[in-house]
Structure 1
């Protein structure tokens, strides 16, 4: 296998000014010059395809009116004995369980990363995920009580850890200049997988049942394992060029290093705040959407199809921006626009919802919010991790992507429960303030990243 190409600085100076219309020609050129890009595209495609097969099932469980499918019988009985209806706190219970799971798993992940080399902990993580999916297939096949809550929490954990580790690995494979050229394309590969995943669910859920979909998702994770192995030579080469041992040794350090790094580094603190407020605007919209689905789509299969259509719309918008805009913006203007444009768009969307909180407009803003995050915000943030050390890349990033993310989820899901008492307009007015906080955090990151080595 040949090494990755020389950085973009060795190319003609006007390459970054190429208009978005040349995106397909540039993609063919990058694929011809960069063998690891092929494996990175296949990796992210398979990862998100496998996840998006699961996501509609997870969301349908969260919106399900069948408490016995979501919670164990003992939980339902305990709630009734203490005088409250568990059906009124479904999302709050699920998000609280997810956050507690993240707090428990974060130090375990830190210990795994500190003590074992990448060639061990990356495959081990995915093998654990595959084994869990096989276990869930057994649980769903037998309609065991409480399967919904367990699956919701596990899917959230899987999504954050698997995607966070993916981008950490990409920062090992590609340097900053290379990342600006290819991260938009890698994101587009993931979006293609995210388009196929809901389509698979919508097509097969009535034919094979929910349990069998989990085995299909496990098959995609097996492909991810193959890609991890095939990308390893380029990751080792990048480490060698950066002054790290070429043998892929364990990085060492404390399992709590992620929290310490975020607390002490201005840019990482800004990224943590950006994540916290970004989660807030998404959670408020998600909860409003869940209330609509519970009212109009009581069947789990119908709810799964509705969420699949929303995901398809989001991913269609995302891939268009990733192919035609993201790479051009990153190379021409840096991370500033890709972080600020989604923040401005979300603020504007919440202003519209405050004036007219219509269900259709909620869906439209949901599509705009998530597609802007996936196509611009996420690639912009990930390029920054190519310019930091390995502990920040794996430990601090994992802390932000898991503990901070789910801590935001927990905060805003309970905040929404209180705000919803005053109506949708109050919910969306609060969303404006959160979106402003997101914008200010993006600006803090933009200022702090200027001090990083290029």
Structure 2
């Protein structure tokens, strides 16, 4: 079954909006996964010892940008917010081209800090804003039907991006990839603006086209007052702890085994390809079934249980390898690809479906704060902790066992989040297409 078939089938059952949303997310993720290995090869050049510096800089940037984003959300309509935010990142991509042409003169560490901060902000704000918009235009019942299909469109982009990057980096080098990423993001923006205009015309009496208003610090305030958002913050921290642990271990592996930026870019590119292929398979099979038949809560719990098993595997196998299609693959790479595959292919659609059952201000401000500042605070804490444990002589086995404990806690929090008492009741999943906030 191709990735296109389920989306084409949705066009018949659900209408044009889910298909166009999936196409927009395809281009968003294509843009991101073109620059992701470009960013990660800079980490591979310096190793995990620089991750606390990188993540610390990202966390500071998120704290500074949170009130700025809150101001934009409060004062400007949805279309203008989308247009300005995405246009800013398109211009930044083009501005980075000369810097990557001079990477050897600037240095991987210096350029890495700047681009890692910017790339992390790009990922979090662009993707978070996309899903806030999706939660704004689809009802909770319809979201359970179509969000896995929209996520599948993004997963197709996340597969196409690495494939395109692998081919282009051989012929063009690293810097021109940023221009290709900017073009993909511009196409996504055009589709999102069209969807926003279509929704406002179809529902003129609703508030989707108006500014949300409220306080620019509402996202921070709601973290303490809304139980669901607290669960989301804890789940973000625990999930980030597992993902960042895997990222740090793989960064050391890449530094030890690959000596130039093209080889590291291809390694991280292949890792992304494996991750996103798994995510697409989950969305084609298990994820949509869970969302429709069992609800979003179970789609949060299952990945947490899988993470427990994966970390136990690494604790027992350490730096060992498994044979896949005749090739030896590091257990660390298997763990990283699988945990990310479940995160993107199951956890993310479930989380975004739950956000359809909270007020609009929470969808944008609260969700954005959790997925930016809270996430990067977790990155900083985890990478600093990993570096400290490494200095104390703790190896891969000890770190993996610590991760097992975190994954067990994440399982409990997932169960609480999926059935949080402050969530609005689920609306039924409709048979006919209906676009409503």
Given the two structures, how large is their TM-score scaled by the length of structure 2? 0.90
Name the counterpart of 2:420. 448
* Counterpart in the other structure of 1:434: 406
Gap change, CA 1:365 and 1:224, over 3 Å in 2: same
Aligned twin of 1:282: 243
Q: Given the alignment, which residue of 173, 184, 189 partners 1:225?
A: 189
What secondary structure, in the 3-state scheme, does the structure 2 residue paired with 1:422 have?
coil
Question: Retained in 2: the 8 A contact 1:276–1:404?
Answer: yes
Contact 2:30 2:161 in 1 (8 A): yes
> For each residue in 1:155-178, what CA deviation from the matched residue of structure 2 results, as whole angstroms up to 9, or x when unmatched?
000000000000011112211111
**From 68, 81, 99, the counterpart of 2:59:** 99
CA 1:331–1:210: 2 relative to 1, 3 Å: same
**Largest Rg, 1 or 2:** 1
**What is aligned with 1:424?**
396
Give yes or no for contact 1:174–1:238 (8 Å, CA) kept in 2: no
Equivalent residue for 1:159, pick from 123, 134, 152: 123
Tell whether 2:306 aligns with 1:345: yes
Q: Which among 328, 335, 343 is matched to residue 373 of structure 1?
A: 343
Structure with greater contact order relative to length (CA < 8 Å, sep ≥ 6):
2
Corresponding residue for 1:81? Answer: none
Cα 1:450–1:335 change in 2 (3 A) is farther
Q: 1:174 aligns with which of 138, 141, 156?
A: 138
SS in 2 for 1:433: helix
* 1:127 equivalent in alignment to 2:107: no
Give the distance between the partners of 1:306 and 1:174, measured in 2 at CA.
Answer: 38
> Contact conserved, 1:173 with 1:231, CA < 8 A, in 2?
no
SS in 2 for 1:425: helix
Shift of 1:385: 1.1
Is 1:318 aligned with 2:290? no
How many residue pairs align between the two structures?
A: 410
Q: In the alignment, is residue 186 of structure 1 matched against residue 150 of structure 2?
A: yes
In 1, Cα distance between the equivalents of 2:39 and 2:193? 30
Q: State the 1:140 CA deviation.
A: 1.5
Indicate conservation of the 8 Å contact 2:7/2:19, yes or no: no
- 1:30 to partner: Cα distance: 2.1
State whether residues 261 and 396 of structure 1, in contact with CA within 8 Å, keep that contact through their aligned partners in structure 2.
Answer: yes
Does the CA contact (< 8 Å) of 2:48 and 2:251 recur in 1? Answer: no
User: What is the distance in 1 between the residues matched to 2:73 and 2:384?
Assistant: 33
Which residue in the other structure is 2:364 paired with?
394
Which residue of structure 1 aligns with residue 11 of structure 2? 31
1-side partners of 2:241 and 2:423: how far apart?
A: 28
Instruction: Indicate conservation of the 8 Å contact 2:298/2:418, yes or no.
Output: no
Q: Map of 1:263-278 to 2, 5 A cutoff?
A: 263-278=224-239
Q: 1:87-130: per-residue Cα shift (whole Å, max 9, x none)? A: 77311111111111111111111111111111211100001001
Greater Cα offset, 144-153 or 162-171: 144-153
Runs of 4+ in 1 over 6 A off after TM superposition: 23-26
Q: Which residue of 1 aligns with 2:169?
A: 205
3-state SS of 1:298 partner: coil
1:17 corresponding residue in structure 2 = none
- Match for 2:42 among 61, 75, 84? 61
Q: In the alignment, is the contact (CA less than 8 A) between 2:228 and 2:423 conserved in 1?
A: no
Give the Cα–Cα distance (whole angstroms) in 2 for the partners of residues 390 and 235 of structure 1.
Answer: 15
Q: CA deviation at 1:238?
A: 7.9
Q: TM-score of the superposition, structure 1-length normalised?
A: 0.87
Q: What residue number does 1:71 align with?
A: none
| 391-400 or 417-426, larger mean C-alpha shift | 417-426
- Aligned partners of 1:137, 1:211: CA distance in 2, in Å? 5
Q: Distance in 2 between matches of 1:167 and 1:238?
A: 20
Return 5+ residue gaps in structure 2 as ranges. 321-329, 427-437
- Partners in 2 of 1:88 and 1:362 — Cα distance? 14
Q: Give, in angstroms, the shift of residue 373 of structure 1.
A: 0.6
What residue ranges of structure 1 are gaps of 5+ in the alignment? 1-20, 66-86
Give the distance between the partners of 2:6 and 2:281, measured in 1 at CA: 15
**Residue 405 of structure 1: which of 375, 381, 396 is its match?**
375
C-alpha RMSD of the superposition: 2.0
